[in-house]
Amino acid sequence: MADTRLITLEGLQSLVDALLAEGYTVIGPTVRSGAIVNAPIRNIDELPRGWGDEQDAARYRLRRRDDEALFGFAAGAQSAKPVFFPTDELLWRGRRTPDGARLEVRPDEEADAADSETGPPYALLGVRSCDLSALGIHDTVLTQRRFGDAHYATRRADAFVVAVACSDPGGTCFCVSMGTGPRPEQGRGAPFDLSLTELLDGGHRFVVEIGTERGATLLDGLEAAPAPAADLDSAAYVTTQAEQRMGRRLDTEGIKELLYASVDSPRWDDVASRCLSCTNCTMVCPTCFCTTVEDVSDLTGHEAERHRVWDSCFNADFSYIHGSTVRESTRSRYRQWMTHKLASWQDQFGSSGCVGCGRCVTWCPAAIDITAEAAALRGTPGSHLPPAGAPVTSPDD
């Protein structure tokens, strides 16, 4: 039985104040430009109180709720990914002497600038279970292999994570299919320090599950009482009802073998006729990690910087080599992305690359749905595996 407390709205503000007092930049969901966007906050009034969302393939709208829920929406436009894995990272600065001989390379010591208003350490407020799993996947990909991303590791080590259970999954959510939600579980994905479940009936309050010593210490400072049993039951119900309201479903049975065997499937031509190769899906996906490097120098050519910036396998020159591109067609790029996300990722990192957050479906301007594509591959003749339930026949039968 997890160690739980109960806090009120005032208690939540005190939590934010305590984090700010410890020097964290608190990043939480806010309403901006018609979407839920993560931004530094100082007051819970900045959270999306009374806002919900409607999501479907190529559709995202905010809607007014008839209550005052602070977290009554599904996946925001971005996950926690850009906090720890910025779109642009300065790797080093170098200098070459005017005669072109000496090369001096300095690691970037001024990254994550001294701006205490928006710089690290970061406290994330309101991380969904799917995004927590994604963070755990990034921890594996970026810090637990032979070579690691030291910048990322430092930001992650210092970060305080307040997760939140989902009450209103969206039209594109399928965390249940991917086994990543809707309730954050310690030990699944990245660890959380605290996890909130918002309750509205009978007073606006939050059941807080304590995940770490650090989280416990912070809560102790708020003098929060243990959560009563009835509230624990209500909190559990929040996510059990959410489990029944997933917008999408993805059958993960044998998905790796299915994708590996579907290399010649005509379905790829079908999706290619719709895909614009716009890279939106990879930008909003919380587990995508591809980057490229940009070398820039000043006009004299003597000072140079190397930056690491986000890239996408849908970009034309992603696979450029020897004067041409390996993945020239949109067909091959979509195949690469989906096969990597659902199949090769498993061989590489021991888990699926997809956490079921639904962002790639919501933010695709062509309404391409990864769950529909997976289902189509299962059912399409020539994908080499019979549809689930169909008898297996051979040519001699």
Partner 1 sequence: MESIAEYLPQHPFFAGLDESVAALVAGCAVNVHFRPGQHLFHEGEPADTFYVIRHGRVSLEVHAPAGPPVVVDSAHDDDVVGWSWLVPPYRWLFDARATEETSAIAFDGACLRGKCEADPAVGYALLQRVVTVMSTRLHSARIRLLDLYGASR
Partner 2 sequence: MTALTGRGPSPGSPEETQDPFLPRPFVVSERRQDTRDTYTLVLEPVDGEPTEFAAGQFTMMHAFGSGEVPISISGDPARPDLLEHTIRNVGAVTRFLVQATPGTEIGIRGPFGTGWEVSAGRGGDVVFVAGGIGLAPLRPAILEVCAARAEYRRVLLLYGARTPEDILFGDELRRWGDEHAIDVQVTVDNGQHAWRGRVGLVTQLIARGGFDAATTLALACGPEVMMRYAAAVLAERGVPKARMRLSMERNMKCGVGLCGHCQLREYFLCVDGPVLTYDVLEPLMSRAEL
Q: How far apart are CA 331 and CA 329, in angstroms?
A: 5
Which residue from 33, 244, 324, 393 is in contact with partner 1, where contact means CB under 8 A?
324
Output the smallest distance, CB 141 to partner 2, in A.
8
Q: Which of 291, 374, 363 is nearest to 339 (CA)?
A: 374
Query: Cβ closer to partner 2: 46 or 318?
Result: 318
Q: How far apart are CA 70 and CA 9, in angstroms?
A: 10
91 binds, among partner 1, partner 2, none (CB under 5 to 8 A by kind): partner 2
Q: How far apart are CA 126 and CA 198, in angstroms?
A: 11
Beta strands (DSSP E) in the chain are 4-8, 25-32, 35-40, 51-56, 59-64, 88-96, 103-107, 122-127, 160-164, 194-199, 205-210, 225-226, 291-297, 303-310, 320-321, 324-325
Stretch that binds partner 1, among 62-70, 104-112, 255-263, 320-328 (CB under 8 A): 320-328
Output the smallest distance, CB 196 to partner 1, in A.
56
Is residue 322 part of the contact set for partner 1 (CB under 8 A)? yes
Residues near 319 by Cβ (< 8 Å), separated by ≥ 6?
Answer: 313, 325, 326, 327
How big is the chain by its Cα radius of gyration, in Å?
Answer: 23
Phi/psi for 66 (5° steps) reads -95, 20
Given the structure tokens 């990254």, which residue do they identify?
111
- What is the DSSP annotation of 275-317? -----HHHHH-SS---EEEEEEE-TTSSEEEEEEEE--TTSTT
Stretch that binds partner 1, among 79-87, 184-192, 319-327, 362-370 (CB under 8 A): 319-327
Output the smallest distance, CB 120 to partner 2, in A.
9
Binding residues for partner 1 restricted to 93-112, rule: CB under 8 A: none
Query: Cβ closer to partner 2: 293 or 367?
Result: 293
CB atoms within 10 A of CB 105: 12
Stretch that binds partner 1, among 71-79, 199-207, 259-267, 318-326 (CB under 8 A): 318-326
324 binds, among partner 1, partner 2, none (CB under 5 to 8 A by kind): partner 1
Output the smallest distance, CB 322 to partner 1, in A.
4
Output the smallest distance, CB 257 to partner 2, in A.
13
146 binds, among partner 1, partner 2, none (CB under 5 to 8 A by kind): partner 2
Q: How far apart are CA 131 and CA 123, in angstroms?
A: 15
304 binds, among partner 2, partner 1, none (CB under 5 to 8 A by kind): partner 2
Residues that bind partner 2 (CB under 8 A): 91-92, 94, 96, 100-105, 107-112, 141-151, 153-154, 260, 263-264, 289-293, 295-297, 301, 304, 306, 308, 311, 313, 317-323, 326-329, 331-332, 335-336, 339-340, 343-344, 347-348
Stretch that binds partner 1, among 6-14, 89-97, 211-219, 317-325 (CB under 8 A): 317-325
Four-CA torsion 348, 352, 355, 361, nearest 10 degrees:
90
Given the rule CB under 8 A, which residues bind partner 1? 322-324
